[in-house]
Structure 1
Amino acid sequence: MRNRLLKYGALLMVGAALAVPLVASAQAAPAVAPPAAQEPVAGAAPAAKVAPKKVIAKVTKTAPRVARDPQIYLFRGLANVFSLGMDDMSKELTAQGIPNKVLNHANWPRIAAEITAKYKANPKSTRPIVLVGHSLGANAVLIMGQQLARNGVPVDLVVTFDPTTKGPIAPGVRRYLNLYQSNNGWAEALDVPEGAGKRVVNSDVRKRADIKTVSHFDIEKNRVLHQQVVSEIARLVGTRVKPQNPSKAGTM
């Protein structure tokens, strides 16, 4: 029994002696450093880069320019031989680069139908609409302007040389210019409806200092009046009037 106690005590002493260096070594052990950042592995795909946002400039679109198709018509009077000044004016307009047609006054219904069809098909390009006439041709363009207005077609200008009637004056016509001679026994001043005001201009050439004596049969040939009308039409078309050689233009 005594021997067992002595062995047990010896074991306790040996165990205590062995425990002391283990504790000391544990206390002296260095702290474990956190793991170092890993180096990128060779061959690995780089991190995706976020592309900067592209600034897209706004482009201001301009409306396409509309090709104009002016409707300029000149109408002769009785028998198609007493209004050849319309032919001279047609040449002057052509020399200014302004397309036009000259016809007998009896053709106005057909031309009114053609203009209406063109305008209904393309209202923006079928402009300006200008009607010019002498004597019975002047009467015709007054009726034609009224017919076009009824068809819903706006007329920019109606020019009458010595009409033998006072109208009709249509609200759909933007401007009337009546060039007439009050004392020749044929011509009439146009009626000016209430409210029409500046839309209707009656110009009595008998009272104009820039016009020499004319008659019903040659008023449409007067060069001064031609220049006035061509300038009016050129303004509507949007062109500048070019100087002309008088010998290549209308007479008088």
Structure 2
Amino acid sequence: MILALKIKNKNKMNSFQNRKLGVFSSFLFLLITISMSGCVDLSGGRASEKRPIPKIAQSVFHKSETQNNGKTTSKTVKVSKSQPYHGEVHTMLGGLGLFSTGMRTLSDTVIEECNIPAPSDMWYNAGNVTRSIATYYQKHQQHRPIVLVGHSLGANEQIKVARNLDKMGIPVDLLVTVDAVSQTIVPPNVKHAMNFYKPGYVPMFSGLKLRAVNPEQTRIDNINVTTLKGIEVNHFTIDKDPVVQAMIMEEVKKVLSNANQEKG
């Protein structure tokens, strides 16, 4: 009887171990398949690669707005290289940081072209980002524009950062989310939210539209990238697309240059 129970328990353990091995093998096979198809860069080697943003992409957003509205009077802001900028930009990577390398590229571009602070952090450092912004804001009477940008989990956490800043009475001039997969409610301290998303069948990798707590205080632009010409992306590549990068930079520069105009 005892021997039979031991054999039965051993069979159960073997069955459980086989199931674990099967799940792991399936996950490993899926990861290898995605990697080979070019959707995922597992090397991390492109993390610091700087890709130039094509000039032709600078006006894509305004052109699409004009076509959608049937008007030919879209307003664009031309900013010369010699014009100073004022503000701070915080970019945030999702996942393990292997896929959201476009956030680092964006930070590098902001630093190079605007000469302002543009730190890039992982999504799990959202608390540190909040404290850094709040500390500077509370120590300086002259407040500078705050811009938050994030991809995937980084986008989710940037919304949380904005929410935490709202509790402290700190405004966010621009929030840019790229394929956020949750946390889609934007707090009222955000003046403008720009959301790039691509709908999909897998909830974990499907971008969502944003909604404002108070639409009268927050302007939200939900941009479905499948409607933009020349863009072929998925959840893992959307943040690195040159057109998306250019559209984000254009809006960032508007916020930073308008701040200087207001300063006089």
TM superposition score category, shorter chain reference? 0.5 to 0.7
Q: Deviations over 1:48-84 (max 9, x none)?
A: xxxxxxxxxxxxxxxxxxx986221000000121101
Runs of 4+ in 1 over 4 A off after TM superposition: none
Give the whole-Å Cα distance in 2 for the aligned partners of 1:70 and 1:214.
Answer: 30
Q: Which amino acid aligns with 1:208?
A: L
How many equivalent residue pairs? 171
One of 75, 82, 99 as aligned partner of 2:99: 82
- Match status 1:162 vs 2:179: yes
Q: Quote the Cα distance in structure 2 between the aligned partners of 1:229 and 1:148.
A: 22
CA drift at 1:169: 1.1
TM-score by length of 2: 0.60
Q: Is the 8 A contact 1:184 1:216 kept in 2?
A: no
Greater relative CO, 1 or 2 (CA 8 Å, sep 6+): 2
The one of 112, 115, 126 equivalent to 1:108 is 126
Q: Which residue of 2 aligns with 1:200?
A: 220
Once the two structures are overlaid, the 10-residue window that deviates more, 192-201 or 212-221, is 192-201
CA 1:131–1:79: 2 relative to 1, 3 Å: same
The one of 83, 88, 95 equivalent to 2:112 is 95
Question: What are the superposed Cα offsets for residues 209-242 of structure 1, whole Å, 9 maximum, x if unpaired?
Answer: 2x42210000000111111111111111118xxx
RMSD of Structure 2 on Structure 1 (CA): 2.1
Alignment check: 8 A CA contact 1:98 1:234 kept: no
Residue pairs, 1:25-174, within 5 angstroms: 70-99=87-116, 100-124=118-142, 126-174=143-191
Say if 2:85 and 2:114, in contact at 8 Å, map to a contact too: no
Between structure 1 and structure 2, the one with the greater Rg is: 1
Distance 1:123 1:193, change over 3 A: same
Q: In structure 2, the residue corresponding to 1:72 is in which secondary structure?
A: strand
SS for the counterpart of 1:238 is: helix
Match for residue 188 of structure 1?
Answer: 208
Residue 211 of structure 2: SS of its match in structure 1?
A: coil
Alignment gaps of 5+ in structure 1: 1-66, 240-252
Structure 1 or 2: more helix by fraction: 2
Residue type of the alignment partner of 1:121 = K
Deviation for aligned residue 1:123: 3.9
Specify the code of the residue in structure 1 equivalent to 2:236: F
TM-score after normalising by structure 1:
0.63
